[in-house]
Amino acid sequence: MTFQQPQTLQSIAKLIGAQFVGDPEFQILGTNEIHRVQAGEIVFVNHPKYYDKALQSKATIILIDKMVDCPEGKVLLISEDPFRDFNAINSHFTSIYNFKQDLHNAKIGNGTFIHPSVVIGNDVVIGENCHIYPNVVIGDRTIIGNNVIIQSNTVIGGDAFYYRKLNGNFDRLISVGDVRIEDHVEIGNACTIDRGVTDSTVIGEGSVLDNQIQIGHDTLLGKKVLIASQTGIAGCCVIEDEVTIWGQVGMASGLTIEKGTVILAQTGVNRSLKKGTYFGPIAQEFKEYLRKEVKLKQM
């Protein structure tokens, strides 16, 4: 999430009641998660296992729960609860309506047809010559390109599935990102595409999604990706251009699937994949899977 106006280290520390290490006037441009964070942005970390990853990331502002040595060129925000305070920062700088207020400010391109039953959130942009079918829900800040088809009962821009367990309950990380759908995308019936936590979930140009597909927060689909029905892709994945994913594939979070890969139906993907064709409850090269099947039959 990018702030409308740059902030200072001192002003953010005051906002959340945190100590800070570094120049009080150090410029802060926004917040982001570890996998997408850039210089000028805040990343949070609240577990020693991930201290080094956060401190060595591109982030220049580290929101952390312990006083540590500050890397050169960076600053620290010391917080009792970085998860809570990350939410506080994001909520302060982003209006969260969740359909409780209809302010709209929508921009709709020429030649676009939107069925009267469609529900559109605030600050939505829809391009030219799109066709939005009945009962579609489009959440706040969604950006849709030109010549996009979204079929019935699809939900664009739901909350990220991102929680921590606190005092026996589940505590949500608030989603202030968006969904960006590029030109010439087709999305089938009853799909769900979650918005990013602090950045964008992206559906690349020319991609086609079948019915009943779930795309998790901050996932990036490349150009001309083809996905068959009942596939579930967790958050923070990178699906490169021209990947084909057949039905009922399940994919763990944070993975990268290389350009041109084919994932056959009912495959479970638990690791990043190089270009190839994959199948099996734990994805393996399809030819290797067939060789193993032959050997089993011969036993």
Domain boundary among 70, 93, 116: 93
Are residues 180 and 224 part of one domain?
A: yes
Are residues 118 and 228 part of one domain?
A: yes
Closest-CA residue to 196 (of 50, 32, 65, 54): 32
Print the domain residue range for 52.
2-93
Residue 18 lies in a domain: yes
Are residues 126 and 266 part of one domain?
A: yes
Are residues 32 and 172 part of one domain?
A: no
210 within 8 A of 188, measured Cβ to Cβ: yes
Strand order in the sheet with 250-251: 119-120, 137-138, 155-158, 192-194, 214-215, 232-233, 250-251, 268-269
pLDDT in tens, 218-273: 999 999 999 999 999 999 999 999 999 999 999 999 999 999 999 999 999 999 99
Are residues 275 and 133 part of one domain?
A: yes
| Percent of the chain's residues with pLDDT above 90 | 91
pLDDT in tens, 114-156: 999 999 999 999 999 999 999 999 999 999 999 999 999 999 9
Are residues 139 and 235 part of one domain?
A: yes
DSSP assignment letter at 26: -
Mean pLDDT value across residues 152-172: 95
pLDDT in tens, 168-181: 999 999 999 999 99
Residue 43 to residue 86: CA distance in whole angstroms:
8
Alpha carbon separation from 47 to 52, 130, 164, 181, 249 (Å, rounded):
10, 45, 12, 34, 31
Are residues 166 and 46 part of one domain?
A: no
Which residues neighbour 51 within 8 Å (Cβ) at sequence distance 6 or greater?
45, 64, 66, 68
256 within 8 A of 240, measured Cβ to Cβ: yes
pTM, two decimal places:
0.93
193 within 8 A of 239, measured Cβ to Cβ: no
Are residues 111 and 89 part of one domain?
A: no
What is the domain count for the chain? 2
- CA 254 and chain centroid, separation: 10
Are residues 278 and 163 part of one domain?
A: yes
Active site residues: 217
Are residues 166 and 55 part of one domain?
A: no
Q: Which two tokens stand for residue 217?
A: 């927060």
Domain boundary among 68, 93, 118: 93
Residue 38 lies in a domain: yes
Q: What CATH number does residue 24 fall under?
A: 3.40.1390.10
Which residues neighbour 81 within 8 Å (Cβ) at sequence distance 6 or greater?
46, 65
Strand order in the sheet with 41-45: 2-8, 27-31, 41-45, 61-64, 75-78, 19-21
| pLDDT band with cut points at 50, 70 and 90 for residue 104 | confident
Amino acid in the structure at residue 169: N
Are residues 155 and 41 part of one domain?
A: no
User: 9-16 vs 82-93: helix axis angle to the nearest 10?
Assistant: 110
Are residues 142 and 36 part of one domain?
A: no
Q: What CATH number does residue 165 fall under?
A: 2.160.10.10
Closest-CA residue to 200 (of 154, 238, 147): 238
Tokens 């829900």 belong to residue? 137
Amino acid in the structure at residue 112: T
Predicted pLDDT of residue 289: 79
